[in-house]
Structure 1
Amino acid sequence: MATIQRFLALLMPGCLLGGAVGDALGAPIEFMSRSDILHQLGSDGITQYAPAYGGLGTITDDTQMTLFTAEGLMRGWIQEYMKGHGEYSKNTALAYLRWLVTQGIRPECIMETPDTGGLIQCIALHHRRAPGNTCLSALQTMSFPGEYAIDNSKGCGGVMRFAPVGLFTWGRRQHMSLQSAFQLGADLAALTHGYPTGFLTEGVLAVMIHQLVEGTTMVNAVNAEETLAISVYCALVARDFRESVILAVNHDGDSDSTGAIAGNLLGTLHGVASIPNAWLEPLELRDVITAMADDLHSSPNWHVSDG
């Protein structure tokens, strides 16, 4: 049992750190075409961190929202532990509204204690890193925390932030099935993305991460479209973590998001040891990401008091 716990303690940081590394690798070329990437960086494209947002290894909104997703889930679980019901959609929506505040926007709905505790206190998160317009507008106009978005968006602004759902539901697998993982992922994505493929793929990613932690092979865990499909392809065909995320970011699409998801998948499959140290060491918010992964891993054994 102790060996299994040590193994899992590497997989969960591997998932979140892997996603952040892929995000940071893709950040400098997020808005470039493949032809421009190859013209500026050579025939291999981007293969190491390049300057973005004033630094190397800097994350984007993808990793920011991933962290706030995890925080919302954790607060929902604490509520469930103490009161018997978790209200995960509401708690995650409140987490996203706190993220919105870090982007310099006050939401229209009344927030519950928006400026106290948790990630919102991390000054390094109070930076705009090309946040998606769909997420910004859906959250800014949300009538109440937990309201589903009224839009037709099917962009990748949902799927890029949902690896924590798979980790979270696996940690509570005695009470949360694969169906629960899918439903929770889809429900939380619907907070910002209203088109079916805009929220169903998030459920798929949650199930995939859940299954990979369980020990399922990558081949048996896959099924999705668009951004998720690109990331899955790269995770399937590449020989290792480095090759996978390099392949995932060097294309015309949303490079940071596909890099993040490929990193989530390979990091979950092979653990944090598979991520090159040259990418881990300069990674922005590495300690915050690691702490959140550790919380996701240990929280099922927490004893929460109301004191």
Structure 2
Amino acid sequence: MSIRPSLPSRIHGCLLGGALADALGNTVGSSTLQQAGRYSGSADPADFAVPAAAWFSDETQLCLYSVDGLLEALRWANDGVPADETACVWLAYLRWLRTQGVPLPESAPHPPEQWLDRQAVMQHRADPDEACLTGLASGDMGSQARPVNPQARGAGAVVRSAPFGLLPYVGAETVFKLSRDTAALTHGHPSAVYSAAALSLIVHHLVHDGGRLAEAAGAAMAHLEADASAEPEVLRMLADVRDLAAGEPLSPEQLTAEFGAGASAVEVLAIGLYSALAAEALGDEMVGGQTAGNETRGSAMSDDDPGQRFRRGIAVAINHDGQSDAAGSIAGNLLGARYGDQVVPSAWLEALQGREVIYTLADSLVDATFGP
């Protein structure tokens, strides 16, 4: 019988899993990770030759700045002072912008440098999302009513939203609103805003309800369906992903044909969510170490081996002709939140640059919510 992970384990797993998969996907995207072969239904994730040094990209940088902004709001709240969570996250993103070598306009606040800004891994520039740069460099705090980039629908909005689902003691509606508001700081298109909300809601249901990923995705979909303004494109994607993940595994070529190359937030969410759901569904078909009649799905796996599910899900997410880092980070966030930090392979983590920064922020988030 598998052990239900604690909330601190899920927080660590979500952040570490996302960063690790982002780093591996980033390396695949730059063609420096040598793989034994393209992933198919029967390939072994152990075939990946993990590099000696894997650097995560702007996806994880912004995700960690989301955490840092939340920590600022939590510190104010713990001192009895109400704070605007969205404004705190915006100020954190402005600090990220400075680490990318972009000067802040005079019209924008100039938040003081903090510990996270001084970490070398946060100053590493890896082709950051253009809408994130232009939206923050405008100096305006975008909102859903007045977005600074009303047509921006790229992945930069969704890859940083998982931490909003990690907050304890808040309801799904609060997570929903916070993730939409923070996405609109740089990306105004409804498909980007609601993709970000979908990811944070799935993470929220995973860490609070403790069920399966498929159930969390269904709960998030129901929440979006109850909102009259929800973007139909996102709802259609969630339904398609749910149905496809329950069927035969898709090849990399089929994955791209179904969901695109991850050029938009909704596409990259689809690839990351599909990869995580397919890994969970694959394990569900294994009983007592024997397959349920489908030998093409790979080696036997049970719910007592979630680490194998994590490795297989990441393999699917990063091995396709699209944004491997962004799709990988989403799959890693979801699988880490689902199974906890014990599923993140220690051998893979050894290659992750800046992992001590992630541990520090994850510990800080746990301490800010549960006490040291």
Please indicate the TM-score interval, normalised by the length of the shorter structure: 0.7 to 0.9
User: What amino acid maps onto 2:183 in structure 1?
Assistant: A
Is contact 1:31-1:254 (8 Å) kept? no
1:273 aligns with 2:272: no
Is contact 1:93-1:145 (8 Å) kept? no
Deviations, residues 36-71 of structure 1 (Å, cap 9, x unaligned): x9xx745325953656xxx62211001111111100
Deviations, residues 20-47 of structure 1 (Å, cap 9, x unaligned): 1110110023367xxxx9xx74532595
Give 1:236's aligned residue.
277
From 202, 210, 229, give the equivalent of 2:204.
210
Give 2:155's aligned residue.
156
Give 1:74's aligned residue.
71
**More deviation, 294-303/243-252:** 294-303
Give 2:352's aligned residue.
283
Is contact 1:25-1:48 (8 Å) kept? no
Give 1:10's aligned residue.
9
Which consecutive segments of 4 or more residues in structure 1 shift more than 6 A? none
Is contact 1:234-1:244 (8 Å) kept? yes
User: What amino acid maps onto 2:116 in structure 1?
Assistant: L
Is contact 2:107-2:139 (8 Å) kept? no
Q: What is the rounded CA distance, in whole Å, between the counterparts of 2:28 and 2:190 in structure 1?
A: 28
User: What amino acid maps onto 1:133 in structure 2?
Assistant: E
Offset at residue 230 of structure 1 (A): 1.3
Give 1:93's aligned residue.
90
Q: What is the rounded CA distance, in whole Å, between the counterparts of 2:360 and 2:142 in structure 1?
A: 26
Give 1:130's aligned residue.
127
Q: Which runs of 5+ in 2 are unaligned?
A: 40-44, 222-237, 239-265, 284-308
Q: What is the rounded CA distance, in whole Å, between the counterparts of 1:205 and 1:195 in structure 2?
A: 16
Deviations, residues 9-29 of structure 1 (Å, cap 9, x unaligned): 221111100001110110023
Q: What is the rounded CA distance, in whole Å, between the counterparts of 1:109 and 1:85 in structure 2?
A: 27
Q: Give the SS at the match of 2:155.
A: coil
TM-score w.r.t. length of structure 2: 0.71
Q: What is the rounded CA distance, in whole Å, between the counterparts of 2:36 and 2:324 in structure 1?
A: 17
Greater gyration radius: 2
TM-score w.r.t. length of structure 1: 0.85
Q: What is the rounded CA distance, in whole Å, between the counterparts of 1:136 and 1:48 in structure 2?
A: 33
From 171, 176, 191, give the equivalent of 1:182.
176
Q: What is the rounded CA distance, in whole Å, between the counterparts of 2:35 and 2:9 in structure 1?
A: 33
Give 2:188's aligned residue.
194
Q: Give the SS at the match of 2:148.
A: coil
Is contact 1:108-1:143 (8 Å) kept? no
Offset at residue 116 of structure 1 (A): 2.3
Is contact 2:50-2:348 (8 Å) kept? no
Is contact 2:142-2:186 (8 Å) kept? no
Offset at residue 79 of structure 1 (A): 2.4
Is contact 1:182-1:206 (8 Å) kept? yes
Q: Give the SS at the match of 1:160.
A: coil
Q: What is the rounded CA distance, in whole Å, between the counterparts of 2:99 and 2:313 in structure 1?
A: 31
Q: Which runs of 5+ in 1 are unaligned?
A: none
Give me the CA root mean square deviation. 2.5
Q: What is the rounded CA distance, in whole Å, between the counterparts of 2:105 and 2:135 in structure 1?
A: 11
Offset at residue 109 of structure 1 (A): 4.3
User: What amino acid maps onto 2:211 in structure 1?
Assistant: T
Is contact 1:49-1:57 (8 Å) kept? no
1:258 aligns with 2:345: no
Q: Give the SS at the match of 2:362.
A: helix
Deviations, residues 218-238 of structure 1 (Å, cap 9, x unaligned): 111114442112111111112
Q: What is the rounded CA distance, in whole Å, between the counterparts of 2:154 and 2:354 in structure 1?
A: 26
Q: What is the rounded CA distance, in whole Å, between the counterparts of 1:10 and 1:77 in structure 2?
A: 20
Q: What is the rounded CA distance, in whole Å, between the counterparts of 2:87 and 2:276 in structure 1?
A: 33
Matches within 5 A, 1:14-163: 14-30=13-29, 41=35, 43-44=37-38, 48=48, 56-82=53-79, 84-110=81-107, 112-144=109-141, 148-163=147-162
Q: How many residues align?
A: 287
Q: What is the rounded CA distance, in whole Å, between the counterparts of 1:184 and 1:157 in structure 2?
A: 16
Q: Give the SS at the match of 1:95.
A: helix
Deviations, residues 267-300 of structure 1 (Å, cap 9, x unaligned): 1111111111121112111111011112222212
